[in-house]
Amino acid sequence: MFALYQHDLTGRPLDDTLPNDAAPFMRSLAEATLARQPELDELISRFAQGWSLSRIAPLERSILRVSLLEMLHPGDVPATQPIPPEGAISEAVETAKAYCGAEAPSFVNGILAAVLRDQAAPTGGPA
**Is 125 within a domain?**
no
**Is 78 within a domain?**
yes
| pLDDT tens digits along 3-50 | 999 999 999 999 999 999 998 888 999 999 999 999 999 999 999 988
What percent of the chain is predicted at pLDDT more than 70? Answer: 94
- Among 55-59, 95-99, 117-121, the range scoring the smallest mean pLDDT is 117-121
Q: How many CA atoms within 13 Å lie on the side-chain side of 99?
A: 17
Q: Domain count for the chain, please give it.
A: 1
Residue among 114, 116, 68, 67 at smallest CA distance from 92:
67
**Is 126 within a domain?**
no
The boundaries of the domain holding residue 6 are 2-120
Q: Taking the model in full, what pTM does it have?
A: 0.90
**Total residues belonging to the chain:** 127
Q: What is the mean pLDDT of the chain?
A: 91
How confident is the model at residue 5, as a pLDDT?
94
CATH of residue 32's domain is: 1.10.940.10
